[in-house]
Every structure is written in structure tokens, then in C-alpha cells.
Amino acid sequence: MRRLGFYNPCPVGDLPQERKVPAQLKKSGLIVTGDIGCYTLGVYAPLFVLDTTACMGASIGQALGLEKAGVPNKIVAVIGDSLSSSFWSLALKRTGFDALVITGAAVAPTYLFIDNDIVHFKKAEHLWGKGSSETEDYIRSEIGDSRVRVASIGPGGENLVRYACITNDINRQAGRAGTGAVMGSKRLKAIALRGTQPIQVRNLEEVERISFDIIQKAQIRFEEVLMGSHVKVILLPYGGRYWI
């Protein structure tokens, strides 16, 4: 661990005032500043509308900065990334898809079932109003496979509660930005996955070597000065992430 610091002196501070105001980014139209995450890969419709991606949460600061710098365009900041662990993303990868973009809205409650490379749209009126855990159980029962991974919303998302989560694998939540309400607005109750295809890795030996090295380093107990106090810190791998 190391302390964060700012480069001093900052070279931007020495620029003439007229050079600090950027030229108009577009001749006309809207400028959309984006958050990092899946948006960064959005080179095709509808995600290609983003003009910037820098880091998590940067879209708001960038939009404000452009406005303060005198850019005349209308500017909108987009933020909406969230994180959930467990096995849903692995199941998606094993269906053969790297990403999933859902546009528009269903006319009635619906859930998606992606069975490897086949996509099914299934009625979900009987699931509307149920909590996420109950929804997962119902969907697995309907499909007849306990290995199916499910990401779903509960009544909060259905009723467009602005901080509603998306829940997968019973107790994992994508908890930021009200993504559950986005699914609710699309009348999308759940996304179920059954992925059985192998994942191809170009250099498996190198991936295994790096993974083992990270795990080994994560077991090392060490001492560090943290926030002015002498504390003992241990890093433990947990679900692919590291906790202090």
C-alpha cells in the first residue's frame, strides 16, 4: 500500500488562460460524458453515443469541467455501472457471449433465458411481485436445471424504486445506480443463463502462473502505516476480490 499524492507543480497551472479553455468538441449537438465499465466497449449502437470515458464516476466531473471551461454544447453525464460477484458472469461467458445489451421494453413482464447460443423470451406475469430469491427458485424449477444462474429484480425494481438492486445467486447484489429500476422499466423480471461451453484461453499457462502469484502474495501478512496509525494488515482472496 502507498499514500496518494499529487504531482507538484501541476503543468496545467502554468498554461496561459486562453489555452485552458478547450475548443468546441462538436460543431453542434449533445456531448455525453460516460462512466467507465461496459460503456467503454460501446462502439456500436446504442452505446456509441458516449463521447468520453475515463474512470469510475468521472462522467459528472467531466461534464461540469466542460461547462466551466466554456464549451457551448449541451452536456449530459451518464453514470450507471454496478458490481456483483459470484457465478452469473461466468455463466454468461460460457454461453458464448461476452456482453449483453438490452434495448427497448417488453409489453408485459418477461424474463430472458439464454441457453448457450439460443435466446428465449419467456412470460413472467406469474413472477411479477415475487422477491428475487423466490424468483430464482421458480425459474430453476421451470427450466428443470438447478445449475441455471439467475439475475433478477424484486418488487423494488418492478415499482421503479430509484435505488433498486439486481440480485443474482440469492445473495449477491449489483447495488449502485438503481439498475434494478432500469430492468423494471423494461418489464424485465430476470435474466437466466445456462452456459456449458468451454472458455478458450490463448495462454493458459501464463494465466495460471499470474493467478498463483496473486494468491501467494495475498497470503502474506505485513505491517503498514495506515492513516497515521501503525496497524497490521492481511489481504485475503474472497470471490475474486481482495479484502483488507
Asked if residue 152 belongs to a domain, the reply is yes
In the chain the beta strands, taken as DSSP E runs, fall at: 30-34, 52-53, 74-77, 110-115, 118-123, 149-152, 166-168, 172-174, 188-194, 221-226, 229-234, 236-238, 241-243
- Find the helix or strand (DSSP H, E) in which 92 lies: helix 88-95
Looking at the fold, whether 58 and 103 belong to one and the same domain comes out as no
pLDDT for 138-196, tens place per residue? 999 999 999 999 999 999 999 998 889 999 998 899 887 788 888 999 999 999 999 99
Give the tens place of pLDDT for each residue, 52-94.
Answer: 777 767 788 888 888 888 888 888 887 777 778 889 989 999 9
Query: Pick from 77, 96, 116: which residue ends a domain?
Result: 77
Mean pLDDT comparison of 12-21, 92-101, 129-138, highest-scoring range: 129-138
Within this chain, do residues 57 and 148 fall inside the same structural domain, yes or no? no
pLDDT tier at 116, thresholds 50, 70, 90: very high
Q: What is the rounded CA–CA span in Å between residue 54 and residue 236?
A: 29
For 152-192, what is the HEC assignment? ECCHHHHCCCCCCCEEECCCEEECCCCHHHHHHHCCEEEEE
Cell 434495448 belongs to 103
Q: Judge whether 83 lies within some domain.
A: no
| 1 within domain boundaries | no
117 within a domain of the structure (yes/no): yes
Q: Give the angle subtended at the CA of 201 by the CAs of 197 and 204, to the nearest 5°.
A: 125
CB 21 within 8 A of CB 15: no
pLDDT in tens, 196-229: 999 888 898 998 999 888 888 776 554 444 444 4
- Residue 6 falls inside a structural domain: no
End residue of a domain, out of 22, 49, 77: 77
Find the mean pLDDT for residues 1-10: 35
The DSSP H or E segment spanning 49 is none
Same domain flag for 109 and 149: yes
Is the pLDDT at 14 greater than 90, yes or no? no
| 31 pLDDT higher than 80 | yes
pLDDT higher than threshold 50 for residue 20: no
Mean pLDDT, rounded, for 95-123: 92
Lowest mean pLDDT among 39-48, 95-104, 138-147: 39-48
Residue numbers of the domain that contains 235 = 204-243
Q: pTM (2 decimals)? A: 0.63
52 with 73, same domain: the answer is yes
Assigned domain for 3 exists: no
How many domains in the chain?
3
Q: What angle do CA 244, 83, 5 make, to 5 degrees?
A: 50
> Which residues, at least 6 apart from 153, have a Cβ–Cβ distance to it below 8 Å?
132, 164, 165, 166, 167, 180, 183, 184, 188, 189, 190
Give yes or no: residues 167 and 128 share one domain.
yes
Check whether residue 20 and residue 57 sit in a common domain: yes
